[in-house]
Amino acid sequence: MVVPSPLAWQPIPARPRRPWRWALGVVALLVAAFLILNTITVPYYGILPGPTYPVDGPQGAVVVNSAHAGSGNLSFVVVEEQARVSEWDRLTYGFTRPEVDLLPIAEVTGGASASQYNQENAQLMVDSQAAAKVAALRRLGYHVPELGDGAAVEQVDPHTPADGVVHQGDVITAADGKTIKVASDLTSVVTTLQPGTVVHLTVQRPGTPRPSSVHLNVSTIACGATICPDQPNRALMGVAVATDHQSYAFPNGVNVNVVTSGIGGPSAGLSFALGVLDALTTRNLTGGHRVVATGTIDPDGNVGDVGGVRQKAIAVRDHHDQYFIVPRVEYQAARAAAGSTVHVVPVDTLEQALTFLRSIGGDLKGIPATPPPAVPE
């Protein structure tokens, strides 16, 4: 009989496997990763689908003579912002929450602080409500003049006649002896000038008690088809201006207001204008259909793009609305997110939105068939 050597190999009996230990280890690892990564914030905002709100009807934003008015079938939609985004969110939202877009904070706020950003959004909402009322009332034939204290310089383009002569923050109160009350007054003067003409300006500068007199030679500047489509090359100063202390003289006897709370931004302007028209006329502008609209609006009824249209389209779809009116430039993004149950309608103007509503049976009696001619200010 041979005795085994101490170095001889003998098989060791296999221990029974316990799969639950492996599963428990994986779970523990994920929990640890979640806890650690969720404590790390990243400089992003999360843009999420938000709720829809009625524009007209008993719960709507439009109030006429202190009473809510309209059919209640017209709504606007907002996005919600997730102010705190963690590293875990950034890594997982792509497949756990694909409806959320993560945007750099600076891209959303423009570099403003959180309080400044909120204040700006609140002011944009106020401005959009005023513009919507003006656009709607003018469409009904009312004279709603713009009021102001001059043309405030918001931007001076480099290498233009204005560069170094006027500055951001200046308020132009006269041009060639003509009083400038609103921004369009300055435009009216400059567009009559020939290139090379000297224009004399009266300018109120910040922090100075008395206005200054300056002059510059206007020159031909290629302003492009979007800014001046009829005259792509015309005499310009090279400044962007807005009416200083802008307000409007609303007609007596038309007590209409738009009331919202805790909502900011300008993107509900188009829906507000439609809501005012609905409340002041037939109260059946949508023909009984559930319609949501988004888009900025100016007093002349031009519709501009908004942010978060993908999330808004998702919200409209989930709310089971039938039609979603959007700025034309954002139609494709809205169409891709809205699904097959929502009909997305692209528009550039308030007039195009009204044309669409008429096509689905909306009652537009009380609204002139064609826009009234513009009334000189």
Q: What is the DSSP track for 208-223? A: -SS-EEEEEE-EEEE-
- Residue 85 · residue 69 · CB < 8 Å: no
Contact 335, 258 (CB under 8 A): no
Strand order in the sheet with 343-347: 101-104, 44-54, 74-82, 291-293, 323-327, 343-347
Residue count of the chain:
377
Q: Parallel, antiparallel, or unpaired: how do β-strands 291-293 and 74-82 relate?
A: parallel
CB atoms within 10 A of CB 228: 16
Domain 45-142+251-359 part of CATH 3.30.465.10: no
- pLDDT band at 10; cut points 50, 70, 90: low
Q: Could you give the CA distance from residue 230 to residue 235 in angstroms, rounded to a whole number?
A: 13
Once rounded to an integer, what is the mean pLDDT over residues 281-309? 94
Nearest to 104, CA basis, from 122, 85, 117, 79: 85
Give residue 3's pLDDT.
59
Q: What is the pLDDT of residue 231?
A: 55
At residue 111, does pLDDT exceed 60? yes
What pLDDT, on a 0 to 100 scale, did the predictor assign at position 160?
Answer: 85
Q: CA-to-CA distance for 119 and 243, rounded, in angstroms?
A: 20
Helix axes 114-139, 350-359, angle to 10 degrees: 60
Tell me the pLDDT of the chain averaged across its residues. 87
Q: Output the pLDDT for position 6.
A: 57
Question: Residues of CATH 2.30.42.10 domain(s) within the chain?
Answer: 146-247
Calculate ∠ Cα 216-222-228, nearest 5°: 100
List where CATH 3.30.230.10 sits in the chain: 45-142+251-359
Instruction: Tell how strand 219-222 and strand 151-156 pair up.
Output: unpaired
Strand partners, 63: 68, 257
* H helix or E strand, kind and range, residue 284: none
pLDDT tens, position by position, 225-272: 444 555 555 677 888 999 999 999 999 888 888 988 888 889 999 999
When pLDDT is averaged across residues 345-370 and rounded to a whole number, the result is: 95
Confidence of residue 25 (pLDDT cuts 50, 70, 90): confident
Alpha carbon distance 330, 295 (integer Å): 10
CATH class assigned to 146-247 = mainly beta
Is residue 74 classed as helix, strand or coil in its secondary structure? strand
Q: Are the C-beta atoms of residues 151 and 182 closer than 8 Å to each other?
A: yes
Among 39-48, 61-70, 79-88, where is mean pLDDT lowest?
61-70
Angle at the Cα of 146 (from 140 to 152), degrees rounded to 5? 145
Which token pair is 156?
Answer: 């001076």
Q: Which one-letter amino acid corresponds to residue 1?
A: M
Contact 211, 203 (CB under 8 A): yes
Which pLDDT score, from 0 to 100, does residue 161 have?
A: 87
Higher-pLDDT residue of 195 and 320 is 320
Give the residues across from 199 on adjacent strands.
216
**Residue 168, SS3 per DSSP:** coil
pLDDT at 182: 94
Reference 80, options 351, 294, 317, 264; nearest CA is: 264
Cα R_g (the chain), whole angstroms: 29
d(CA 135, CA 301): 5
Smallest Cα–Cα separation from 176: which of 228, 213, 149? 213
At residue 226, the pLDDT reads: 45
Residue with tokens 């031909």: 220
Residue 16: predicted pLDDT: 61
C-alpha dist (Å) from residue 286 to 22, 67, 137, 174, 277? 60, 20, 18, 46, 11
The more confident residue out of 226 and 356 is 356
Position 24 scores a pLDDT of 78
193 vs 322: CA distance, rounded Å:
50
Average the pLDDT over 281-307 and give the result.
Answer: 94
CB-based contact 60:275 (threshold 8 Å): yes
